[in-house]
Structure 1
């Protein structure tokens, strides 16, 4: 391990980058701010026999927050470990070196998880500050961190394994998220369900969870090492040779037929005739060749995994517990958030990486034609894939009387879905115009989406949990108008005896007069989301048109 050249090289490169310092600084500052503002206001020592005190809730919130952040960051660090070598055209040279595959995989995994390990251990002193208050023991904190470290290692190994199957960083990143996010959400629900069983949760955290994590890591480590020991046929420049006919024959479960409906909506057949006059060549090229030039494995996995998860969610959220329909809409939105930027974040950066952007800008194609061609092609693919998950709701509307009587709310769900599809594609195209590399553009897109969609929800929950009567709390709730999740839950849904089942982003069942007095109306919240989203997309489109008209600005971004 100490003499592993892959590990040494990765650590020297990664830990010397400025992002390592800034990430640690921001992470520690946010965690310290959460502990500071949530610090109990009581002057007396809290009873340690009370398992539901504020200190225990604070430690659980900090732990779950770190767990979710680690789940979101692990793919960004680890999924490109092997696929990045393929993009940089160094994969064949790495395989030809005398380094054994096990050393390569181990070096990549350890180097990718070093950032997360530093963040986790650096947060331990802040969490330890809560121990003198009582309500939580030292051993409970250690058990939580053992479970957290096991989860991070497991998610990192899953990401490295996904990267070994793809030649593009964007594909490996998306598939990693599709696999890891359901596991992360299941982990949160499991941990919360055992909050009142301290001894049971402690025993599971130090025995079952490490054993399960070790089994998964060892199995995937063997699979990835075997793939590197006996690699598939490699073509020139480190790209895998893909035969569409052979890929269709070997595909398991799902085969994309580009000449049949509905596959031709997002995977049209290759053109065999000349284009008609007036056809946008950028759009035609993007739809027919660019997006699917590396095979359809990522598309097939995305469809299969999402549909597999959608079946139980559809049964529970749409037909059994009808008042939980916003949760299914949130699942569809989350899928589009993951899949949408993949097809737009590399629209312009891929031209830079192939050094064809200058040639494209010197053609007679106008900047607006270039923009709408790339935007519409990516939007078409992401929206069609997301609609595969939306049709159960459209089917449930005529079948379930409660949904038919709430038709305005159902229409609002569709509007929220359409605006989310548009926003993820426009934002990905904007980041692709600004940044010079596809992976940088993709990570920047996900970061902005995380800031707009999830950060206001977390802030609102924290404000209502610890500062329900503060004057600024209503303003914090109003900031959730940027999130489609909040807009979905804000819409009223009347079921059974026409009881309002609206779910708020404050603690469930909150009945404080202050909350009821300052809460925005459902219609105003939905209108605020629609207005913000339309204005946000209009501004991004205006900036992109300006940058493409200033051709030197777009071209020089790749330097």
Structure 2
């Protein structure tokens, strides 16, 4: 199976640079310092009080939130300039002249843009595995968190690619991507809270609003609370069968919606990037112009 040529070229260029290894090493080092600090504090305090194990579950939750913030802030900056940057460097036409299809170009740009973030997520797994020594988190739960992060990274990256394809400049594309992410993370919470506040005043109680299922913060909160307990503090209903048993929790639904959004954004980006569609539009416009010129000449 041959790797995507765009991805292969970008990976060779980026991974030869020492900055990629330095960024991974620095990030993992900072996480390790944080974990070691908490471990030392816990060991010192254990001499004076009993150990309950809750400190390491808290470390797990904090590390998960740090990873989430990393994805939400860095991925848009990496992906929003992928296609717009090619336009600014005037190399997009050369890329479109190759035998690659538009969807191959889009997918290649997507995965080369997010590969460093995916490497950071995978490289941080040994830091998360320290929690195993003290209990509270299982391997299956860690895999759940990894799947959630990978899907979230692809979703945010797809939004960035979409904005980069439809907007010709890198800076406006980056700004629009961050605005879109702000809407998904904060805007949906605000709209859902406002709706529930108004709706519940009518006397009919409702505990959720469909727009909240788009929110990645709610998805992470649902996943963490289901793993570390206290689910009632951050409970959003999932999908239930006719017997009242939960089939899919909220975070699984959120991941499914994110995958659908990613597919839609990538498809729209590939349609916009398709040079054949542009050439057809140019021919149609020329034909219309020639008809108008003939009518005027008559």
Give the TM-score normalised by structure 1. Answer: 0.38
Matched with 1:428 is none
1:227 to 260, 272, 284: 272
Alpha-carbon distance change, 26 to 101 in structure 1, aligned in 2, over 3 angstroms: same
Q: How does 1:238-317 map to 2 (within 5 A)?
A: none
Distance in 2 separating the partners of 1:196 and 1:222? 34
Matched with 1:161 is 162
RMSD: 2.7
Contact 2:114-2:154 at 8 Å conserved across structures: yes
Alpha-carbon distance change, 187 to 211 in structure 1, aligned in 2, over 3 angstroms: closer
TM-superposed CA distance for 1:160, in Å, is 0.7
Q: How does 1:93-112 map to 2 (within 5 A)?
A: 93-112=94-113
Distance in 1 separating the partners of 2:254 and 2:58? 22
Matched with 2:190 is none
Matched with 1:19 is 19
2:262 to 202, 208, 217: 217
TM-superposed CA distance for 1:207, in Å, is 3.0
Distance in 2 separating the partners of 1:204 and 1:35? 30
1:486-538 Cα distance to aligned partner (Å, 9 max, x none): xxxxxxxxxxxxxxxxxxxxxxxxxxxxxxxxxxxxxxxxxxxxxxxxxxxxx
Alpha-carbon distance change, 46 to 152 in structure 1, aligned in 2, over 3 angstroms: farther
Report the 3-state secondary structure (helix = DSSP H, G, I; strand = E; otherwise coil) of the residue aligned with 1:160.
helix
Distance in 2 separating the partners of 1:32 and 1:61? 13
Distance in 1 separating the partners of 2:266 and 2:3? 20
Alpha-carbon distance change, 101 to 26 in structure 1, aligned in 2, over 3 angstroms: same
TM-superposed CA distance for 1:140, in Å, is 2.0
Task: Return 5+ residue gaps in structure 2 as ranges.
Answer: 187-214, 239-247, 280-298
Please say if 1:66 is aligned against 2:67.
Answer: yes
1:407-460 Cα distance to aligned partner (Å, 9 max, x none): xxxxxxxxxxxxxxxxxxxxxxxxxxxxxxxxxxxxxxxxxxxxxxxxxxxxxx
TM-superposed CA distance for 1:23, in Å, is 1.3
Contact 2:223-2:251 at 8 Å conserved across structures: no
Name the count of aligned residue pairs.
230
Contact 1:28-1:123 at 8 Å conserved across structures: yes
Matched with 1:33 is 33
Distance in 2 separating the partners of 1:73 and 1:22? 16
Q: How does 1:81-480 map to 2 (within 5 A)?
A: 81-184=82-185, 186-192=215-221, 195-198=224-227, 204=249, 207-230=252-275
More helix by share: 2
Task: Return 5+ residue gaps in structure 1 as ranges.
Answer: 235-559
Alpha-carbon distance change, 27 to 108 in structure 1, aligned in 2, over 3 angstroms: same
Contact 2:79-2:161 at 8 Å conserved across structures: yes
Distance in 1 separating the partners of 2:278 and 2:223? 49
Distance in 2 separating the partners of 1:155 and 1:148? 11
TM-superposed CA distance for 1:204, in Å, is 3.4
Report the 3-state secondary structure (helix = DSSP H, G, I; strand = E; otherwise coil) of the residue aligned with 1:164.
helix
Q: Relative contact order (alpha carbons < 8 A, sep ≥ 6): 1 or 2 greater?
A: 2
Distance in 2 separating the partners of 1:35 and 1:204? 30
Give the TM-score normalised by structure 2. Answer: 0.69
